[in-house]
Chains A and B, each alone.
Chain A
Amino acid sequence: MIKTLSNAFGPSGCEKHVAEIIMSFLPASALVSMDKMGNLYATKEPEGESKGTIMLCAHMDEVGFIISEIHEDGTLSFQPVGGISSSCLLGKRVCIGETLTHGVIGTVAVHQLTKESKEQDVPISKMYIDIGAADATDAKTMVSVGDYVIFDTQFLQTETCFFGKALDDRLGCAAIIEILNCYQPKNYRLVACFTVQEETGLRGAKVASRVIQPDVAIVFETTTCNDIPNEKEEKQVTQFGEGVALSVADACTIYPANLRDFLVSLAERDSIAFQFKKQTFGGNDCGSISISNGGVPVAVFSIPCRYLHTPVSLASCSDYEASVRLGLAFLKEMETKPWNF
């Protein structure tokens, strides 16, 4: 499932293929619907009387590009969709449009660069995508201005790790699908939402939260993992393989302490590995959900992920499993616990 999700074509604004894949993995017991923005909902009604609604959320979209111009020589200019650094792009293979036309990101050959310019990052405005077209007419038979572009990366799983594109946030989607397939709420309504356009401003979640009107929400995400050489330990946002990351605050949200303390107690009780995110930069759908409907208690389960928003990200299988386990522990405990966050 994770392989299919990771390989799927789904930049912000074009998530329908990811939605179709998710639907194919959802249990028959979930009521599936979609709003006009493209957010996908899977609802599980309780066996008995409902005491409220819990929202689970992960975003379907990935960072990518959009074709902005087709040049006379058949090369393509492009602009980023979501936050991407130009330093990771040169020489990378990409897929364009729903026909998945192959291309490679190029720029001036290294042999033509001066010593100084070799040291500098090439801006995206000076790069192009080469699809091997003879000229503009030939290129237009394969692609159009406005076509979306994603990295052409094939997923790989080892015993301990996932390697792939768009692990942000297909791992979150996969975690929720796993939970839906093995959990049936007894006395509350459970609504899983797979949102659109997170990478371009948490847009889908703004709508989804108004639709669902949750009493509490958990977002399944990935987060920066920079436990790399030459980075001081206190500057490392999370550490690889050390468990699911819980947040105190980030650039969009201050997380309610009582909900976080409750999750910590569950993790400790069930020996689920967890860590705290050490820095406040970045944001996620919690930023939109938490300020909707007059305020919603939120928490985020983040899977530490190295090299986010690049052609290949790396995540630990055990961190992923920890997020699923903590999600299940939370949902089970919410059947009996008073909802006073």
Chain B
Amino acid sequence: MELLKRLNESFSASGYESEIRDVIIDYLSQWYTITTDSLGNVIAAKEGTEEHLVFCAPMDSSGYYLNHEKDDKAYCFTKLSSASKGKVDGAKARTCSGIKGTFSEDGKTFVSDEKLVLPTVADIIVPFSVSEYRINSRHGDLYGLLLLAERLKNVPQEITVVALAQTSLRQRGAFGKIPVSADLYVLIELLENQRVSLGDGAVLCLKDGSYLCPQTVKEKARRFDKIYVGEEKPSLAFELSRQGHGRRVASVKIPAKGIGTTEETFCVVDVFDLCNKLTSLCEKGLTKS
């Protein structure tokens, strides 16, 4: 759980992922060669002799930026992207430079807890998760990606692991320097829907508002006993699938609640289930007939 704790303690607002990026690089560099791109994506690669598989998950979270300093040293703020949801009234928060503070009870201003060091206009702030770093917490998809990366470190396939930045604003991370011609891309994301519950296990998504699961993936993915068909937009899976000359993308989900709010929750059992299923599929060859 140490890794999950580090992920949750790291600042990860969209476009301002440098702290969490360092944690990811520190973890993956034990087994993978690391590069980054201008959008902030981490691309970790391992050579292999068989099929080339790319595993992706978002690393960013919702955030706000301070846009106006009032006379009483309180700061007005605005959303960094529309993915910032729910209320932040009274929530604890911190800036990218580490200044801790509190959102006012009416949710309209942010006040620094520190008297000597004040934030400045244009600073980014993120609310703390309610549970901070307990099992029910944020970054379930990224946590799953990193655990999976460790498990796949010795498989014969060529593996690329991509932690995507800036996904909360128009799926911008999907436009980064991700390999263009891999055999299969597997996208891991959180899913909040009344048809899936925490503890259900990993879910295979066959369709959302714009993405359709390729037939070959459907046939290979019978291990996923939980299937999801939805209407969500925008779709990161769709954006990934239409870059370059087109990519074959499998979309797998981890059930979650309160995505984008201060009460985002997932269950580690579902993460382990996802890792088990994908590892097992990899051992058999994900794209072999």
Contacts and interface: CB of A to CB of B under 8 A. Distances in A.
Given A249-B65, A252-B170, A291-B39, A279 B175 contact: no
Interface stretch (A8-16, A253-261, A310-318): A253-261
A291 B39 CA distance: 8
A249 B169 contact: yes
Contact of A295 (B68, B70, B96, B175): B175
A256 B67 contact: no
Interface residues of B, number: 27
Given A279-B67, A290-B172, 14 more contacts: A234-B67, A234-B76, A248-B80, A249-B169, A254-B14, A254-B15, A254-B81, A255-B15, A256-B15, A278-B78, A280-B81, A295-B175, A296-B38, A341-B38
B153 interface: no
28 contacts: A233-B68, A234-B67, A246-B122, A248-B122, A249-B80, A249-B81, A253-B172, A254-B16, A254-B81, A254-B169, A254-B172, A256-B38, A257-B124, A276-B121, A278-B67, A278-B78, A279-B78, A280-B78, A280-B80, A290-B172, A291-B39, A291-B170, A291-B175, A292-B175, A294-B37, A294-B177, A295-B37, A295-B39
Interface residues of A, number: 25
A297 interface: yes
A223 to B, nearest CB: 14
A329 B168 CA distance: 33
B255 to A, nearest CB: 28
A260 B177 contact: no
Interface pairs A-B: 8 shortest CB-CB: A254-B15, A295-B38, A291-B175, A294-B177, A295-B39, A234-B68, A234-B76, A278-B67
Given A290-B172, A295-B175, A276 B122 contact: yes
A294 B38 contact: yes
A291 B172 contact: yes
A272 to B, nearest CB: 16
A276 B15 contact: no
A255 B65 CA distance: 12
Interface of A: 233-234, 246, 248-249, 252-257, 260, 276, 278-280, 287, 290-292, 294-297, 341
Nearest to B169: A254
A253 B172 CA distance: 8
Nearest to B170: A252
Contacts of A292: 175
Nearest to B178: A294
Nearest to B174: A291
B133 to A, nearest CB: 25
Contacts of B166: 254
Interface string B175-204: 111000000000000000000000000000
A38 B220 CA distance: 47
A132 to B, nearest CB: 46
Interface string B148-185: 00000000000000000010011010011100000000
Contacts of A257: 15-16, 96, 124
B79 interface: yes
B38 A297 contact: yes
Nearest to A255: B15
A254 to B, nearest CB: 3
A292 B39 CA distance: 10
Contacts of B70: 234
Given A254-B15, A291-B39, A341-B38, A276 B67 contact: yes
A307 B13 CA distance: 33
Contacts of B41: 295
Contacts of A249: 15, 65, 80-81, 169
A280 B14 contact: no
